[in-house]
A and B are shown apart, each in its own frame.
Chain A
Amino acid sequence: MSIHHIRVTINGKLYEGDVEARTLLVHWLRDGLRLTGTHIGCDTSSCGACTILVDGKAVKSCTMLAVQADGRELLTVEGLEQNGKLHPLQEGFHVEHALQCGYCTPGMMMAALALLKRNPDPSEQEIREGISGNLCRCTGYVNIVKAIQYAAQKLREPEQVPAGSGGGGE
């Protein structure tokens, strides 16, 4: 079983470490780097609790090996807030009451972020499709849709300097 030395930029910061080939990226982030905002909810790549951005694209980090992240740029929930300013998605989730237990929330926000990068002005149906790889057992999604609409609007407002949208991963 091969061991690999990897260098990964996460939330703008360089991390290095030795990982077994089989180490799942989510385990390296959580157990290895103590970036525990990224959660685990299933074994089948179904729930999206582990969603992060890799080179700007959302991925379920339970379905990628840590070694595959070598040399790439990652953004996790911990990187959303910039200079003490919440990202519009974080703000939206709070204002619209889009979280209850909070367990799905980081993955949900990361999937939403990927969606808004592709489609800055999504319809309700497009938002629902965009988060359909992420399960929430608490909220019934209605307020999550509103939170994403809130963030989309805030990110579109020209006078608004979108906090944190630069993040890592681009």
Chain B
Amino acid sequence: MTTTNAGPHVHGLGEPYKRKEDARFIRGKGNYVDDIQLPGMLYADIVRSPYAHALIKSIDISKALQVPGVVAVITGKDLEAAGLAWMPTLSGDTEAVLAVDRVLYQMQEVAFVVAESRYAAADGAAAVEVDYEPLPVVVDPQKALAPDAPLLRPDKKDRQPTNQIYHWETGDRAATDAAFAEAEQNGVVVRQDMYVPRIHPAPIETCGCVADYNAATSKLTVWMTSQAPHAHRTLFAIVSGLPEHRIRVISPDVGGGFGNKVPIYPGYVCAVVAALKTGRPVKWIEDRTENLTSTGFARDYHIHAEIAADKEGTVKALRVYTLADHGAFDAAAQPTKFPAGLFHICTGSYDFKQAHVAVDAVHTNKAPGGIAYRCSFRVTEASYLIERMMDTLAREVGKDPAQIRLQNFIKPEAFPYRSALGWTYDSGNYERALRLAMEKIGYEELRREQAEKRARGELMGIGISSFTEIVGAGPGKHFDIAGIQMFDSCEIRVHPTGKVLARIGVQTQGQGHETTFAQIIAAELGISPDDVDVEHGDTDTAPYGLGTYASRSTPVGGAATAVAARKIRDKARKIAAYLLEVGEEDLEWEPGRFYVRGSPSKGKTIQEIAFAAYTNCPPYLEPGLEAVNYYDPPNLTYPFGSYICVVDIDRGTGEVHIRRFLAVDDCGTVINPMIVEGQIHGGLTQGLAPALYEQLAYDEDGNVLGSNFQDYLIPTAIETPRWETDRTVTPSPHHPIGAKGVGESPTVGAPQAIANAVVDALAHVGVRHIDIPITPWKVWAILKEKGLATA
């Protein structure tokens, strides 16, 4: 089924090589965690709190233990006795594994029931009786900061006496304030409050694990839905005290991650405890409600943003204040050094001379999280705010949104560009991307059509987003996950017959690493990707890596792979020189082969060299042909793009119809255009979702609304437009193959293109902002207020 290539054609960089991993998935032969069945395996179910804030007065497990098939019930008290009631989060907080004396959010884990079958486990969980004493609930982060707010985390009163987790700021406050003072006098200042709502990555596969402890070998094996198996192994070792070499974490096929599968969840820890306790393998699989209500949410940023500009609309300074709702535990995924992640990329694609950002994070009675949902640590929030603000500025000075962007872009010759908030952008040509998008979609023509429609009373809008992404963390000195530096790795073995096994530290959840990483090696060694197998996800065999999120696979793992392959080639050159009896400097490389300069017929293929490495190796070299690289990137990469969205609004219902959506992306060198395009389609759909549909809302009592797929509105093929794509290529100067990483750009860039389009449709009646998700009733309320609603 894989494409056979006639001749020496190498499906290297830039080729739409069909995916190697498809073969098993299209046959239903993938191996996802819930597909694993071990002899004697038990199933687990979790008892969860119906209250958002309550004291646990008592837990009675006696009836549950009588349910046929129930083997054990574990409570927080049991864990406490074993010193396992708390676990570290990704942000240096401690999170309850099972609540001991209080619950802090609805659906928090309270007891873990283990039984012979899924059905018996569910019956057992239903039979656990918990007596709660409800406490006052805090859902509004603003109210959480009030002096009389109930203290949600008495457990850490000593280091944190209020509900405020941190205050963080960066940038030059004085200079920024001065620029605003000047603009108030002689220029313009625009301000906007906006809320980037709490949403959920909601991969179609939920989270889960199978834990198996072999008492004879003292080895714990955990199959789990993990985007970062090595980091999880290390955390397991730290939490459990088990020696790390006796823990094996295997991430099997993962049915989508998008950041949801980066944290460690209580269910995993409980399954391990239960496996140790019962001596039998234990499987725990979340249902959808549990997934949406208790595992890592994203966003939830209340933002106030201001731009100072001159009268022409040339930007001078950006000032941002944000209140971040982190929920009951601070489990946000971010590097230690940057508590608000990379949020200070919020100057975006524009040349701001001054900027200042401040963020306060607070606890509320909501599920913990703050994960990087298909984005690099808060870049989505940052990009949304700046792209919305640029539109607001355009209205203020009476310019077209395209014009205001072109006027303020960082110029191509300014790269590497140091932003006011301290980032060094590697490369970019923002104007080229926007101009291409405008030309392809027929921007001027659309504006004419809009004017005609407006005259007829019809509502049509055009929205632009010219975002800049920041991906590929490390460098390790600035970026870590729970202290572990963000490098990544690749180990390549060339077998004697020239076939290759590569193992990588990053972990695929659909990105197609088995194909693209094979292509990188194929390109470096001049062989077919068919001859390269790529493995990942097993900590016993793969080299240590930090995993896949924040679009770091290609920038970091891909670089490690290219560098490891180059090490192979370097050694191959030495062997070829020995075999051909010439000096290394006399050899030329062509894909797949070294030959003697001036006599092309005298050469050795990589396969011949591989064979010699094991059979006839130069005496001064170690035999074999293997290489390992741990790559610590010198900088992040900065993909960018310009998206244009066209919407029509139904004045009778407030419904927004996306007529067209064009995405021009620039992710540097493209390894596999087919896979890149697929990533963009998927990311755009995950950008559409929060713009118009998805939100995890809470009522005043802390009940989570939208807790299943009936109410958490994942777009179907009907809501999703036929995405149009194009690209420009501006390679990263510091990446070995110039690639930047693309998986997340569209999720970051799309929501504001849609929001801007809707606001654009209503701009003529003075509308400046609508919070996402832009539901029909929000639009209709505006139509009504402005006298535009018809039936």
The residues of A that contact B254 with a CB separation of less than 8 Å are 101
Inter-chain contact B289/A77, CB cutoff 8 Å: no
The residues of B that contact A30 with a CB separation of less than 8 Å are 34-35
Q: Give which listed residue, B253, B289, B674, contacts A102 with CB less than 8 A.
A: B253
Contact with B along A5-44 (1 / 0, CB 8 A): 0000000000000001011000100110011111111111
- Distance A161 CA – B245 CA, assembled complex (angstroms): 54
Query: Does A118 reach chain B (CB closer than 8 Å)?
Result: no
Inter-chain contact B510/A39, CB cutoff 8 Å: no
Q: Give which listed residue, B26, B683, B709, B722, contacts A135 with CB less than 8 A.
A: B709
Q: Give which listed residue, B22, B256, B289, B709, contacts A138 with CB less than 8 A.
A: B256
Contact with A along B4-47 (1 / 0, CB 8 A): 00000000000010110111111111101011010000000000
Which stretch from B175-183, B198-206, B577-585 is at the chain A interface?
A: B198-206
Inter-chain contact B119/A102, CB cutoff 8 Å: no
Q: Give which listed residue, A43, A94, A103, contacts B26 with CB less than 8 A.
A: A94
Does more than half of chain B's interface fall in helix, strand or loop, or is it mixed? loop
The residues of A that contact B709 with a CB separation of less than 8 Å are 41-42, 44, 46-47, 135
Query: Does B511 reach chain A (CB closer than 8 Å)?
Result: yes
The residues of A that contact B34 with a CB separation of less than 8 Å are 30, 36, 39-40
- Distance A62 CA – B680 CA, assembled complex (angstroms): 31
Inter-chain contact A142/B289, CB cutoff 8 Å: no
| Most B Cβ at <10 Å: residue of A41, A94, A128, A137 | A137
| Most B Cβ at <10 Å: residue of A41, A124, A134 | A41
Inter-chain contact A101/B255, CB cutoff 8 Å: yes
Query: Does A55 reach chain B (CB closer than 8 Å)?
Result: no
- Distance A41 CA – B709 CA, assembled complex (angstroms): 9
Query: Does A145 reach chain B (CB closer than 8 Å)?
Result: yes
The residues of B that contact A149 with a CB separation of less than 8 Å are none
The residues of B that contact A102 with a CB separation of less than 8 Å are 21-22, 24-26, 30, 253, 255, 510
Inter-chain contact B686/A137, CB cutoff 8 Å: yes
Given contacts A38-B28, A94-B18, A101-B205, contact A138 B722 (CB under 8 A): no
The residues of B that contact A39 with a CB separation of less than 8 Å are 32, 34, 204-205, 255
Query: Does B685 reach chain A (CB closer than 8 Å)?
Result: yes
- Distance A142 CA – B682 CA, assembled complex (angstroms): 9
Least Cβ distance of B259 to chain A in Å? 12
Query: Does A143 reach chain B (CB closer than 8 Å)?
Result: yes
| Most A Cβ at <10 Å: residue of B19, B32, B256, B677 | B256
The residues of B that contact A53 with a CB separation of less than 8 Å are none
- Count residues of chain A with CB under 8 A from any CB of chain B: 60
Least Cβ distance of A13 to chain B in Å? 15
The residues of B that contact A145 with a CB separation of less than 8 Å are 717, 722
Q: Give which listed residue, B29, B681, B682, B708, contacts A46 with CB less than 8 A.
A: B708
Inter-chain contact B22/A93, CB cutoff 8 Å: yes
- Distance A109 CA – B25 CA, assembled complex (angstroms): 11
Contact with A along B624-655 (1 / 0, CB 8 A): 00000000000000000000000000000000
Query: Does B675 reach chain A (CB closer than 8 Å)?
Result: yes
Nearest-neighbor residue (CB-CB) of A99 within chain B: B25
Given contacts A20-B119, A141-B717, contact A95 B18 (CB under 8 A): yes
Query: Does A61 reach chain B (CB closer than 8 Å)?
Result: no
- Count residues of chain B with CB under 8 A from any CB of chain A: 61
Query: Does B81 reach chain A (CB closer than 8 Å)?
Result: no
- Distance A101 CA – B681 CA, assembled complex (angstroms): 14
Least Cβ distance of B41 to chain A in Å? 10
Nearest-neighbor residue (CB-CB) of B202 within chain A: A137
Inter-chain contact B32/A103, CB cutoff 8 Å: yes
Inter-chain contact A43/B717, CB cutoff 8 Å: no
The residues of B that contact A42 with a CB separation of less than 8 Å are 288, 708-709
Query: Does A139 reach chain B (CB closer than 8 Å)?
Result: yes
Inter-chain contact B288/A43, CB cutoff 8 Å: yes
Query: Does A131 reach chain B (CB closer than 8 Å)?
Result: yes
The residues of B that contact A109 with a CB separation of less than 8 Å are 26
Given contacts A99-B25, A143-B681, contact A44 B32 (CB under 8 A): no
- Distance A36 CA – B37 CA, assembled complex (angstroms): 10
The residues of A that contact B511 with a CB separation of less than 8 Å are 100
Given contacts A43-B287, A138-B682, contact A103 B204 (CB under 8 A): yes
The residues of B that contact A105 with a CB separation of less than 8 Å are 25-26
Query: Does A116 reach chain B (CB closer than 8 Å)?
Result: no
Query: Does B534 reach chain A (CB closer than 8 Å)?
Result: no
Query: Does A49 reach chain B (CB closer than 8 Å)?
Result: yes
The residues of A that contact B168 with a CB separation of less than 8 Å are none
Nearest-neighbor residue (CB-CB) of A107 within chain B: B204
The residues of B that contact A129 with a CB separation of less than 8 Å are 717-718
Query: Does B710 reach chain A (CB closer than 8 Å)?
Result: yes
Least Cβ distance of B674 to chain A in Å? 5
Query: Does A121 reach chain B (CB closer than 8 Å)?
Result: no
Least Cβ distance of B693 to chain A in Å? 12
The residues of B that contact A81 with a CB separation of less than 8 Å are 27
Q: Give which listed residue, B117, B118, B204, contacts A136 with CB less than 8 A.
A: B204
The residues of A that contact B716 with a CB separation of less than 8 Å are 128, 131-135, 141
Query: Does A65 reach chain B (CB closer than 8 Å)?
Result: no
The residues of B that contact A91 with a CB separation of less than 8 Å are 1
Inter-chain contact A140/B682, CB cutoff 8 Å: yes
Inter-chain contact A142/B288, CB cutoff 8 Å: no
Query: Does A114 reach chain B (CB closer than 8 Å)?
Result: no
Least Cβ distance of A95 to chain B in Å? 7
| Most A Cβ at <10 Å: residue of B30, B37, B512 | B30
Query: Does B720 reach chain A (CB closer than 8 Å)?
Result: yes
- Distance A1 CA – B174 CA, assembled complex (angstroms): 73
Query: Does A97 reach chain B (CB closer than 8 Å)?
Result: yes
Query: Does B163 reach chain A (CB closer than 8 Å)?
Result: no
Inter-chain contact B717/A97, CB cutoff 8 Å: no
Inter-chain contact A23/B714, CB cutoff 8 Å: no
The residues of A that contact B681 with a CB separation of less than 8 Å are 139-143
Query: Does A106 reach chain B (CB closer than 8 Å)?
Result: yes
Query: Does A58 reach chain B (CB closer than 8 Å)?
Result: no
Inter-chain contact B27/A90, CB cutoff 8 Å: yes
Inter-chain contact A41/B25, CB cutoff 8 Å: no
Query: Does B678 reach chain A (CB closer than 8 Å)?
Result: yes
- Distance A58 CA – B146 CA, assembled complex (angstroms): 54
| Most A Cβ at <10 Å: residue of B1, B677, B678 | B678
Q: Give which listed residue, B19, B204, B257, contacts A41 with CB less than 8 A.
A: B204
Inter-chain contact B28/A78, CB cutoff 8 Å: yes
Query: Does A69 reach chain B (CB closer than 8 Å)?
Result: no
Given contacts A20-B119, A43-B708, contact A97 B18 (CB under 8 A): yes
- Distance A105 CA – B511 CA, assembled complex (angstroms): 15
Q: Give which listed residue, A90, A127, A132, A139, contacts B678 with CB less than 8 A.
A: A139
Query: Does A163 reach chain B (CB closer than 8 Å)?
Result: no
Residues 251-298 (chain B) with a chain A CB within 8 angstroms: 253-258, 287-289
User: Closest 3 CB pairs between A and B?
Assistant: A37-B28, A102-B25, A103-B255
The 7 listed contacts between A and B (C-beta, < 8 Å) are A39-B204, A44-B709, A44-B710, A76-B28, A97-B18, A99-B25, A139-B678
Known: A30-B34, A78-B27. 5 other contacts (CB 8 A): A94-B19, A97-B677, A132-B716, A137-B203, A138-B678
Write the residues of chain A forming the contact surface with B, with a CB cutoff of 8 angstroms: 20, 22-23, 27, 30-31, 34-44, 46-47, 49, 76-78, 80-81, 86, 90-91, 93-95, 97, 99-106, 109, 124, 127-129, 131-145
